[in-house]
Structure 1
Amino acid sequence: MKRGALICGLAALPVGWMLAAGELGMIGHMAGHMIAVAVAAPLVAWGLSGGRIDSAARWPGIVAPMPMMLVELATVWLWHLPALRAAAHGSPIVLAAEQLCFLIAGWLLWASVFHAPQRMAGIGALLLTSMHMTLLGVLIGLAPRPLYPDMHHAGLAPLIDQQLGGVVMLLVGAASYFIGGLVLLAALLRQKGGAAA
């Protein structure tokens, strides 16, 4: 099962790259980001958990849920500043760095969450991440003017494209972390219920 998750996560990365690099406007840009940070990252982290490349097992004092939640928060918010977004839109090298940052930040957070001794903190970190993804998606979607007017908008009005990009972030990013937190909480409650019986 873990090997299948790893393969699926790695297979999702080129899809995310093509969406982020294509001429699909903010919708494609957001879909590419969300595939890297909220789809591929948890699959790769799960696939590597418990193995030799499990970063949370190797460095539990560093790759811990709350610090990695802050790393992921900083990564997501910084790359959505208009100046950095414009730099990524204008350069394939910067775009690749942006996508890699999303993947690494997501992978480290999810790896820390899957590390069993940190389950409770991991649940909190995922729920907090869902909240900040929701907030950023809402801010982008409800902004009264285009935040990224110079990027290609796939034939849509820039503000409409931006609003739809915010919706993609809400539907994929916020939902992934929220559902992940709930699944881990349910597993923890079942485990505690079984231990008490």
Structure 2
Amino acid sequence: MGLSRRLHLRPRQAHRQTPARVSRPCGIPAGRGVGDRRDLRGDARALYRELPVRRAAIIGFAATLAALYLPSWRAVLGDFPAHMLRHMGLVAVAAPLLVLALPDLARRFGPPVVLGAFFEFVVVWLWHLPVLHGWAQTEGAGTLFEQVMFLAAGWAVWAGALSAREPLLGAGGLFLTSMHMTLLGAILILAPSDLYAEICGRAPDLSGQQLGGMLMLAIGTPIYILGGLALTRRTLLGGLT
């Protein structure tokens, strides 16, 4: 018998080294890495930058509502121009300010761009049919429901456009909205007679209807175009980076 058999020698096993423990940086909780902490810092910086915009938007939204409803615009402008001023103030001024004040809510519940623009189109044109317009002008419940629908329609189109993944798609929605607003304003200006006098039970006021159409063109059209241009600019700048 050989020496190795008598001594029952076994092959020598390789020495196992346990991996060195890497200490976790101070201040990072268990289960969260350095990359996650950087993400949190980035989110905090983004929130810090958004806060002044949110505050300004909240103040602007409150100021817009006060400007629309505290003065007696009917005594100053007449029935139809006052109605149109509030309509445009809600969909083109108050609604985008509300979206900017509540960006998380807009991103979570904002509709797709096309759906939001279509909803706004339907609401605006339906409420300018003589039957619904007459109800809104003569009944308190109709007025309240109309104003709420206008704000909801404005929220839909602006939330969809400003929170869209592709800013250019949001710009398209705003441009389409400006087009149908312009068309409706032109119809009101060029109509040969007062479309709402009979159903509202008042004397015809063609000049008041024309003034209302001009307010739609002067307020709604440029705001939607500027919003679309801003989103287009964001797309172009994003393509350059």
TM-score, normalization by structure 2: 0.71
Question: 2-side partners of 1:69 and 1:127: how far apart?
Answer: 10
Question: 2-side partners of 1:19 and 1:80: how far apart?
Answer: 23
**What's the CA shift string for 1:50-96, capped at 9, x where partnerless?**
x2x22xx2246xx0111100000000000000111100011121111
**What's the CA shift string for 1:141-161, capped at 9, x where partnerless?**
1101110114488xx961110
Q: 2:89 aligns with which of 35, 40, 48?
A: 35
Task: Indicate whether 1:105 and 2:159 are aligned.
Answer: no
Question: 1-side partners of 2:99 and 2:72: how far apart?
Answer: 22
Instruction: Count how many residue pairs are aligned between Structure 1 and Structure 2.
Output: 186
Q: 2:131 aligns with which of 79, 83, 86?
A: 83
Alpha carbons 1:124, 1:181 under 8 Å: kept: yes
| Aligned pairs (5 A) from 1:97-136 | 97-136=145-184
Alpha carbons 2:81, 2:208 under 8 Å: kept: yes
Task: Indicate whether 1:158 and 2:208 are aligned.
Answer: no
Which has more helix, going by share of residues? 1
Unmatched 5+ stretches in structure 2: 1-52
Superposition deviation, residue 98 in structure 1: 0.5
Please list every run of at least 4 consecutive aligned residues from structure 1 whose deviation after the TM superposition is greater than 3 angstroms. Answer: 17-23, 150-153
Which amino acid in structure 2 is aligned with residue 3 of structure 1? R
Q: 1:8 aligns with which of 49, 60, 75?
A: 60
Unmatched 5+ stretches in structure 1: none
Alpha carbons 1:19, 1:29 under 8 Å: kept: no
Alpha carbons 2:167, 2:234 under 8 Å: kept: no
Q: Which residue matches 2:193?
A: 145
Alpha carbons 1:5, 1:44 under 8 Å: kept: yes
Which amino acid in structure 2 is aligned with residue 33 of structure 1? H
TM-score, normalization by structure 1: 0.87
Q: Which has the larger radius of gyration?
A: 2
Q: Which residue matches 2:219?
A: 172
Evaluate the alpha carbon distance shift between residue 152 and residue 176 of structure 1 in structure 2; reply closer, same or farther with a 3 A threshold: farther
Q: Which moved more, 1:101-110 or 1:14-23?
A: 14-23
**What's the CA shift string for 1:153-182, capped at 9, x where partnerless?**
8xx961110011000001101111111101
Task: Indicate whether 1:182 and 2:204 are aligned.
Answer: no
Q: Which residue matches 1:46?
A: 100
Question: 1-side partners of 2:173 and 2:210: how far apart?
Answer: 27
Task: Indicate whether 1:66 and 2:87 are aligned.
Answer: no
Evaluate the alpha carbon distance shift between residue 177 and residue 30 of structure 1 in structure 2; reply closer, same or farther with a 3 A threshold: same
Evaluate the alpha carbon distance shift between residue 152 and residue 41 of structure 1 in structure 2; reply closer, same or farther with a 3 A threshold: farther
Evaluate the alpha carbon distance shift between residue 139 and residue 18 of structure 1 in structure 2; reply closer, same or farther with a 3 A threshold: farther
